[in-house]
């Protein structure tokens, strides 16, 4: 969670989202940071670039040397004269281009942190989908498709392809938004490379970001101002158009050919943990757009992915960073949390009230209220006694429910010699904490006061972390999974607090939300609290609470191991100032000159801290809960995080705007191979209200991670608080739980192939340009279209139905076919409490016929089949089934459903014994049959019904086993 350092900052953060920025500076670059460093020119226009020489072929591609082509410019650091370039054709769809200092002294991400694919043993150069082209002097390269050698390159660093420079700063007050030139720059503290893009091309990714432009990034055309994406992880409450918790240097480029009316997608991944700015821009009157990378160190390590569809690009990215972890089935249930369950009895009461209201609850969580003095791996002996926690958690387990506690990134420092806190003292004993450059312990400040931070590079940290988690569980907090928060990592000091800090001061340097002097006063847009005060109700005494308008130069020293003690290297304020929304790099986090084993500096590894904690925690849970799949949700993420964890979208706001933003967030993280993702439903910061919570509980029921969570001091927002929200939640959850076999199969595909579980509409319909910017709707897999209400005080919603009239979409609830406008919006009824869900034709879905209170109870009930045939009478679907918890996954069965010419074929393959039977089959889009048969035997007429207006056939009273083949016909 994020807390600003004063009431004023809290109010600013709350109100800022209501203002629409009018300039690039306000919209994208919230602060300008001046750098007074006379030893560097701060201008790349005189940088000479490089010359290629010494080219030779290798087994997998080519290698060559790059030499500085003139006098060093030393723009933001010291130019490195000798570079090496390796070009590897790793697969037929993946090309790896790596440019690095020949001396190998610049920081590179160790294989021990993120394992990379093995190099090929045979040459793929002549069979690859991609081709590496180059000019020797000045060195430049461009990537093309083998099938389209004359088409616009996929990536093109030639200066002749880029707009002429200098290009004036888009904002006069910030010269860094201009472009002095486009040479290749490779310095110890600054790397720059640029590529031309087709004018106004469709770019997705480059997060994590809450982008005002939507899921499709603003490249500076169609009235846009362009984008500056900064990669520097920080603890901040979901800012718009600024850096936040995670860094993901990959983008999808989806290009539409207006001549052929077809599209192709490719991907570009820059494998770096460096702090960076990435600029997307289109200069005035330019016939091309561009992307420019500006890094604070490291190397240029590019992977190009040929696609040619959005889904295949995402899958190819998964082959590099690792496929998503297998999720336990119970993780797909509804989760409940808040900062403000002050005791175990408060927590238990919420569980009881959920059951009394008949609202399914799968997992109960606790925030930092759980802790003794806000210390990790503790439970307060008065409010959360260990044995009472054990009893409570075992009550949950007896009811097929689960429990997840929070773990913050920082570990409390021992206050004095008599202070007993084993996680700290054991960490000192095993030497697991980050150091200052002089070797002393690095001191930060977080919730428990002064803190130490785990060093994930240290030899003993995994052992220590596993011990701490195991001891916690054995002490009563018998968790099923872990919530990792504050892991950017967050600290309330600006950099190091200093070794002379007063360790006995354990207070936070600001007022907590809801404390005297810091009330939680914000409400959703258009909620009028002067009518209803803090109730959040839709109406008070018959008066609506809705109201419009209620919101408003030295010797060259390359940066490698031990860089913290090197001279001539500026770790804390590098000459190029990335546009970190917090200002100085060390503000509100670990100082950038802090050191890790075996000599890495925080500046180089900062963006990986959260991912490395996720990896350590995942491995610890495998040890503590052997044979069970770890369930983790984390805030800070990095490439490969999905291999270890899921993600929630951070400390959002109880605003309609943020409910809309949650969709782009879910779509972004599908690209990043972190499919288990969702928002704090109903909003975290500020107060929600009845209408917003009603709509949001329904929307989130159709996202992978489904949790309601809010801040300390805000009004309660559990789904039982308002009856209309309770009703809407029950309805949406029943649909979600019935769809669990479909969700589970999608995630099995994610963990096996890297396929995205949630998809933008254009993923499935890539040749329909009207879909390229759609992010107010989304698809679950290929077959389910969700169209939520995202604005207050309405009873209809507009949505586009893909397929341009060639696809039939049927209503989930009524099974009626939609009379959709081709290629444009169709208005749908959407009264409060109803979310529009539609089924694509050609779908065959295995569903739970009787959604129950928990997932385990639901799984014990019967199945049903829902089939929506296409115009040619066909449909297809699969279902992956296993025990839902084993790690690694054990025996499993895949069931295939194929429909053609009035015949359903069910085929089963695998060793898992499926206990539940299919009791009914619903087929949509068929004519009334004269006869229905099952396994060749005629079905009695009273066992099937046909509804002509819906073209619907329902066959009841079946008992079909999914362990063997079956045939159902209608003719």
For 104-117, what is each residue's pLDDT tens digit?
Answer: 999 999 999 999 99
Beta bridge partners of residue 810, listed in sequence order = 817, 839
As given in the structure block, the two tokens for residue 62 are 């080519």
Q: Are 866 and 922 in contact (CB under 8 A)?
A: yes
For residue 570, the model assigns a pLDDT of 83
As given in the structure block, the two tokens for residue 895 are 């069931």
Name the active-site residue from 156, 277, 362, 485: 485
Q: Looking at the predicted structure, is the pLDDT value of residue 827 above 90?
A: yes
For residue 803, the model assigns a pLDDT of 98
CA 425 – CA 429 distance, rounded (Å): 6
- 70 DSSP 8-state letter: S
Beta bridge partners of residue 450, listed in sequence order = 445
Mean per-residue pLDDT for 676-703? 98
Mean per-residue pLDDT for 788-802? 98
CA 527 – CA 544 distance, rounded (Å): 9
Name the active-site residue from 180, 241, 277, 488: 488
Q: Are 376 and 411 in contact (CB under 8 A)?
A: yes
If you compute the radius of gyration of the chain from its CA atoms, what whole number of angstroms results? Answer: 28
Distances (CA, A) of 207 to 243, 640, 737, 959: 8, 14, 31, 48
Closest CA to 611 of 585, 589, 644, 633: 644
Beta bridge partners of residue 132, listed in sequence order = 143
Q: Looking at the predicted structure, is the pLDDT value of residue 664 above 90?
A: yes
What is the rounded (10 degree) CA torsion for 956, 957, 961, 967?
Answer: -50
Domains in the chain with CATH codes: 50-314 (2.60.40.1760), 329-514+576-744 (3.20.20.80)
CA 950 – CA 782 distance, rounded (Å): 22
Per-residue confidence band for 894, with pLDDT thresholds at 50, 70 and 90: very high
As given in the structure block, the two tokens for residue 601 are 């500096």
Strand 903-910 relative to strand 966-970: parallel, antiparallel, unpaired? antiparallel
What is the rounded (10 degree) CA torsion for 763, 803, 868, 739?
Answer: 30
- Rounded (to 5) percent helix, strand, coil in the chain: 20, 30, 50
Per-residue confidence band for 170, with pLDDT thresholds at 50, 70 and 90: low
Distances (CA, A) of 922 to 545, 780, 918, 954: 43, 20, 11, 4
For residue 15, the model assigns a pLDDT of 29
CA 823 – CA 767 distance, rounded (Å): 11
* Better-predicted residue by pLDDT, 31 or 967: 967
The verdict on whether omega for the bond into residue 753 sits within 30 degrees of 0, i.e. cis, is no
Greatest alpha-carbon pair distance for the chain in Å reads 91
For residue 559, the model assigns a pLDDT of 62
As given in the structure block, the two tokens for residue 690 are 């009845």
Q: Looking at the predicted structure, is the pLDDT value of residue 27 above 60?
A: no
As given in the structure block, the two tokens for residue 648 are 């929630």
Q: Looking at the predicted structure, is the pLDDT value of residue 38 above 70?
A: no
As given in the structure block, the two tokens for residue 692 are 């917003």
Closest CA to 637 of 668, 671, 676, 610: 610
CA 294 – CA 276 distance, rounded (Å): 6
- 763 DSSP 8-state letter: H
The verdict on whether omega for the bond into residue 598 sits within 30 degrees of 0, i.e. cis, is yes
Q: Looking at the predicted structure, is the pLDDT value of residue 842 above 90?
A: yes
Closest CA to 293 of 279, 310, 273: 279
Q: Looking at the predicted structure, is the pLDDT value of residue 327 above 70?
A: yes
Q: Are 767 and 256 in contact (CB under 8 A)?
A: yes
Phi, psi of 447 (to 5 degrees): -55, -45
How far does Cα 48 stand from its chain's mean position?
39
Mean per-residue pLDDT for 754-783? 98
For residue 18, the model assigns a pLDDT of 31
Is 429 part of the annotated catalytic residue set? no
For residue 562, the model assigns a pLDDT of 67
Q: Looking at the predicted structure, is the pLDDT value of residue 812 above 90?
A: yes
Lowest-confidence region among 22-31, 177-186, 666-675, 694-703 = 22-31
Cβ neighbours around 723 below 10 Å, total:
10
For residue 541, the model assigns a pLDDT of 84
For residue 22, the model assigns a pLDDT of 27
Per-residue confidence band for 1, with pLDDT thresholds at 50, 70 and 90: low
Mean per-residue pLDDT for 514-532? 91
Residues 6 or more apart whose CB falls under 8 angstroms from that of 158 comprise: 135, 140, 142, 196
CA 601 – CA 758 distance, rounded (Å): 37
Closest CA to 428 of 406, 413, 450, 438: 413
* Better-predicted residue by pLDDT, 544 or 315: 315
Look over the chain and give the mean of its residue pLDDT values, rounded to a whole number.
93
Beta bridge partners of residue 898, listed in sequence order = 876, 905
Closest CA to 208 of 649, 770, 658: 649
pLDDT, tens only, 635-653 = 999 999 999 999 999 999 9
Cβ neighbours around 112 below 10 Å, total:
7
- Reported as half-sphere exposure (CB side, CA atoms, 13 A), residue 922 has a value of 21
Is 566 part of the annotated catalytic residue set? no
The helix (run of H) or strand (run of E) holding residue 836 is: strand 836-840
pLDDT, tens only, 722-740 = 999 999 999 999 999 999 9
Q: Looking at the predicted structure, is the pLDDT value of residue 271 above 90?
A: yes
For residue 19, the model assigns a pLDDT of 28
Mean per-residue pLDDT for 481-499? 94
As given in the structure block, the two tokens for residue 476 are 């009563």
pLDDT, tens only, 377-434 = 999 999 999 999 999 999 999 999 999 999 999 999 999 999 999 999 999 999 999 9
For residue 533, the model assigns a pLDDT of 84
Mean per-residue pLDDT for 261-280? 98
Mean per-residue pLDDT for 864-880? 98
Q: Are 689 and 523 in contact (CB under 8 A)?
A: yes
Total residues found in the chain within this entry: 971
Per-residue confidence band for 173, with pLDDT thresholds at 50, 70 and 90: confident
pLDDT, tens only, 333-380 = 999 999 999 999 999 999 999 999 999 999 999 999 999 999 999 999
Beta bridge partners of residue 958, listed in sequence order = none
End-to-end CA distance of the chain: 59
Q: Looking at the predicted structure, is the pLDDT value of residue 21 above 50?
A: no
Beta bridge partners of residue 881, listed in sequence order = 893
Name the active-site residue from 253, 367, 602, 651: 651
Q: Looking at the predicted structure, is the pLDDT value of residue 750 above 90?
A: yes
The three-state DSSP-derived secondary structure of 124-136 is: CCCCCCEEEEEEE
For residue 150, the model assigns a pLDDT of 93
Is 488 part of the annotated catalytic residue set? yes
Mean per-residue pLDDT for 544-562? 60
Q: Are 238 and 244 in contact (CB under 8 A)?
A: yes
Residues above pLDDT 90, as percent of the chain? 88
Q: Are 494 and 650 in contact (CB under 8 A)?
A: no
For residue 540, the model assigns a pLDDT of 86
CA 717 – CA 524 distance, rounded (Å): 13
pLDDT, tens only, 927-958 = 999 999 999 999 999 999 999 999 999 999 99
Q: Are 361 and 354 in contact (CB under 8 A)?
A: yes
Q: Are 652 and 658 in contact (CB under 8 A)?
A: yes
CA 964 – CA 966 distance, rounded (Å): 7
Mean per-residue pLDDT for 465-472? 98
Q: Looking at the predicted structure, is the pLDDT value of residue 172 above 70?
A: no
Mean per-residue pLDDT for 695-712? 98
CA 35 – CA 583 distance, rounded (Å): 12
Beta bridge partners of residue 89, listed in sequence order = 95
């Amino acid at each position: 969670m994020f807390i600003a350092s004063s009431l004023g900052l809290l109010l600013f953060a709350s109100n800022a989202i209501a203002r629409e920025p009018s300039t690039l500076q306000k919209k994208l670059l919230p602060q300008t940071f001046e750098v007074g460093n006379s030893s560097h020119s701060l201008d790349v226009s005189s940088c000479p670039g490089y010359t290629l020489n010494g080219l030779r072929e290798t087994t997998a591609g080519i290698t060559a040397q790059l030499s500085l082509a003139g006098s060093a410019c030393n723009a933001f650091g010291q130019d490195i004269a000798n570079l090496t370039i390796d070009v590897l054709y790793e697969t037929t769809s993946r090309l790896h281009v790596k440019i690095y200092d020949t001396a190998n002294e610049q920081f590179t991400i160790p294989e021990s942190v993120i394992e990379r694919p093995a190099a090929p043993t045979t040459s793929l150069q002549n069979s690859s989908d991609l081709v590496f082209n180059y000019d020797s002097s000045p060195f430049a390269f461009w990537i093309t498709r083998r099938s389209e050698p004359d088409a616009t390159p996929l990536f093109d660093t030639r200066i002749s392809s880029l707009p002429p420079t200098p290009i004036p700063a888009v904002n006069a007050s910030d010269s860094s938004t201009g472009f002095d030139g486009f040479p290749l720059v490779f310095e110890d503290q600054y790397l720059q490379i640029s590529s031309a893009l087709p004018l106004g091309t469709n770019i997705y990714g480059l997060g994590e970001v809450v982008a005002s432009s939507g899921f499709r990034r603003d490249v500076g055309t169609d009235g846009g101002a362009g984008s500056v994406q900064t990669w520097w992880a920080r603890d901040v409450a979901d800012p718009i158009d600024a850096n936040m918790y995670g860094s993901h240097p990959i983008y999808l480029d989806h290009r539409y050919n207006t001549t052929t009316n077809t599209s192709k997608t490719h991907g570009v991944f820059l494998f770096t943990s460096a702090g960076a700015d990435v600029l997307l821009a289109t200069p005035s009157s330019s016939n091309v757009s561009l992307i420019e990378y500006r890094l604070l160190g490291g190397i240029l390590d590019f992977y190009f992915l040929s696609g040619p569809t959005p889904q295949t690009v995402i899958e190819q990215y998964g082959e590099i960073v690792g496929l998503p972890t297998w999720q336990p089935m119970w993780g797909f249930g509804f989760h409940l949390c808040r900062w403000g369950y002050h005791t175990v009895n408060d927590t238990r009461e919420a569980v009881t009230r959920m059951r009394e209201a008949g609202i399914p609850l799968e997992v109960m969580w606790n925030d930092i209220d759980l802790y003794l003095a806000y210390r990790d791996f503790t439970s307060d002996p008065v409010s959360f006694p260990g044995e009472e926690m054990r009893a409570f958690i075992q009550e949950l387990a007896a009811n097929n429910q689960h429990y997840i506690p929070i773990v913050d990134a920082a570990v409390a420092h021992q206050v004095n010699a008599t202070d007993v806190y084993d996680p700290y003292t054991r960490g000192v004993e095993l030497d697991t904490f980050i150091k200052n450059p002089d070797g002393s312990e690095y001191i930060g400040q977080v919730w428990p006061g002064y803190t130490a931070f785990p060093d994930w590079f240290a030899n003993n940290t995994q052992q220590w972390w596993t011990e701490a988690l195991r001891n916690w569980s054995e002490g009563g907090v018998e968790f099923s999974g872990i919530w990792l928060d504050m892991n950017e990592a967050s600290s309330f000091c600006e950099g190091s607090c200093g070794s002379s800090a007063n360790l006995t001061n354990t207070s936070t340097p600001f007022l907590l939300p809801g404390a005297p002097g810091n009330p939680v006063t914000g409400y959703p847009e258009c909620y009028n609290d002067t009518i209803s005060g803090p109730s959040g109700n839709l109406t008070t005494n018959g008066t609506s609470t809705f109201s419009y308008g209620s919101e408003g130069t030295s010797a060259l020293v390359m940066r490698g191991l031990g860089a913290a003690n090197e001279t001539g290297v500026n770790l804390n304020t590098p000459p190029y100032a990335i546009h970190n929304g917090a200002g100085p790099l060390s503000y509100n986090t670990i100082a950038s000159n802090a050191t890790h084993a075996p000599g890495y500096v925080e500046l180089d590894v900062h963006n990986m801290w959260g991912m490395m904690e996720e990896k350590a925690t995942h491995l610890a849970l495998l040890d503590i809960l052997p044979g069970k799949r770890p369930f983790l949700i984390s805030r800070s993420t990095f490439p490969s995080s999905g291999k270890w964890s899921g993600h929630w979208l951070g400390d959002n706001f109880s605003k309609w705007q943020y409910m809309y933003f949650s969709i782009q967030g879910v779509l972004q993280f599908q690209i990043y191979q972190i499919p288990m993702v969702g928002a704090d439903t109903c909003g975290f910061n500020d107060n929600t209200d009845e209408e917003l919570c009603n709509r949001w509980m329904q929307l989130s029921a159709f996202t992978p991670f489904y949790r309601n969570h809010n801040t300390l001091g805000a009004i309660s927002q559990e789904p039982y608080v308002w009856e209309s929200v309770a009703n809407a939640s029950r309805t949406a959850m029943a649909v979600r739980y019935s769809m669990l076999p479909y969700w589970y199969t999608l995630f099995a595909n994610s963990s096996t192939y890297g396929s995205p579980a949630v998809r933008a509409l254009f993923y499935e319909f890539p040749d329909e340009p009207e879909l390229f910017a759609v992010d107010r709707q989304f698809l679950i897999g290929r077959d389910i279209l969700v169209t939520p209400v995202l604005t207050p005080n309405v009873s209809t919603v507009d949505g586009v139905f893909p397929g341009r009239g060639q696809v039939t979409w049927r209503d989930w609830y009524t099974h009626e076919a939609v009379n959709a406008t081709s290629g444009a919006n169709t208005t749908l009824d959407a009264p409060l409490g109803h979310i529009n869900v539609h089924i694509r034709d050609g779908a065959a879905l295995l569903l739970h016929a009787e959604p129950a209170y928990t997932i385990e109870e639901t799984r014990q009930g019967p199945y049903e089949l829902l089939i929506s045939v296409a115009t040619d009478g066909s449909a297809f679907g699969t279902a992956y089934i296993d025990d839902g918890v084993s790690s690694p996954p054990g025996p499993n069965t895949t069931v295939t459903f194929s429909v053609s010419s009035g015949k359903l074929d069910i085929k089963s393959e695998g060793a898992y014994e499926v206990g539940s039977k299919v009791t009914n089959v619903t087929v949509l889009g068929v004519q009334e049959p004269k006869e229905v048969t099952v396994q060749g035997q005629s079905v009695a007429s009273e066992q099937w019904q046909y509804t002509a207006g819906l073209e619907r056939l329902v066959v009841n009273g079946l008992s079909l086993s999914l362990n063997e083949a079956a045939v159902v016909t209608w003719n």
